[in-house]
Structure 1
Amino acid sequence: MVPDLFDLLEAPFAALRPMAGPQMRFEDYVKDGRYILRAELPGIDPEDVEITVANGILTIHAERRQEEREGQRTEFRYGSFTRSCALPPDADENDVRATYDKGILEISVRLAEKEERTKRIPIEQRQS
């Protein structure tokens, strides 16, 4: 297996991170008036994922509890992951949707329509 390029680039800096342990990978973009955030969460049951939004911050907390049995051998995998990101300033915290499919959590947040805030300023002429 060939390591991901970003894994190689991040490896020297892993010790500088405030949290130890695995991290969730995010990607985000804007599409059709919605902010889309996708997170890789392979092998995690969606019931073990909590998504919260408060004060412009979206937080994902997930816990992995997995047990594999093969003959006389048992292997456990467990751990928790938390990651937060700032939402765009025009995000509507009351319109957030989440779906999970094949290890990818996708969260979408409606963005408010941008209003034109251009105001024409009249010029007053002084009487001399």
Structure 2
Amino acid sequence: MSTLERRETRGILPDLFDWFDAPFTAPFTSPFSLLRNGEEHAMRVEDYVENGDHVIRAELPGIDPDKDVDITVSNGVLRIHGERREEKKEGRRSEFRYGSFTRSFTLPSDVEVDDIKASYDKGILTVRVPRPKPAEEEPKRIAIEK
């Protein structure tokens, strides 16, 4: 039985541009603090099998799923792309992270793409990937030729 395969869009090191987003005014306590900074953009997910369906849940609080999330399937890969936009307000400090994030999952070859469903409730995006039920065949009797 095939299983979903998680494909990370980030490598071990964050993108170079994430380093420039790091607050240079913050105290530099560790040589790895800039590396941890790139992880804050990542979308946290869990995936599991429930009732024969593959389920992917992603933490996306504060997102408008109609405007800020795009789920696509192409060439056997399910891609969840989101963007958190910053509201510009003068004279305030914010440690919230804004920007885009993407996670990709390789789908089994026998998945029917039209049956994939997604829902969003209380900051959690849930994508259900139904697996086809194996057809139960009647045993076929083979005649013996004489």
* Shorter-chain TM band: 0.5 to 0.7
User: 1:55, 1:89 → 2: CA distance?
Assistant: 10
* Compared CA separation, residues 16 and 66, structure 1 to 2 (3 A): same
* Compared CA separation, residues 111 and 15, structure 1 to 2 (3 A): closer
Higher relative contact order at CA 8 Å, sep ≥6: structure 1 or structure 2? 2
State the number of aligned residues. 112
1:33 partnered with 2:52:
yes
- Unmatched 5+ residue regions in structure 2? 1-9, 19-37
What is the match of residue 12 of structure 2?
Answer: 16
User: 2:109, 2:132 → 1: CA distance?
Assistant: 9
Higher strand proportion (structure 1 or 2) = 1
Query: What's the offset of the Cα at 1:109?
Result: 1.6
Q: What percent of counterpart residues are identical?
A: 51
What is the match of residue 125 of structure 2?
Answer: 105
What is the match of residue 64 of structure 1?
Answer: 84
* TM-score normalised per structure 1: 0.67
* TM-score normalised per structure 2: 0.60
Aligned structure 1 segments of 4 or more residues deviating by more than 6 angstroms: none
- Spell out, residue by residue over 1:51-71, the C-alpha distance to the aligned partner (whole angstroms, 9 max, x if none): 0011211001100013275x9
- Unmatched 5+ residue regions in structure 1? 1-13
User: 1:17, 1:103 → 2: CA distance?
Assistant: 27
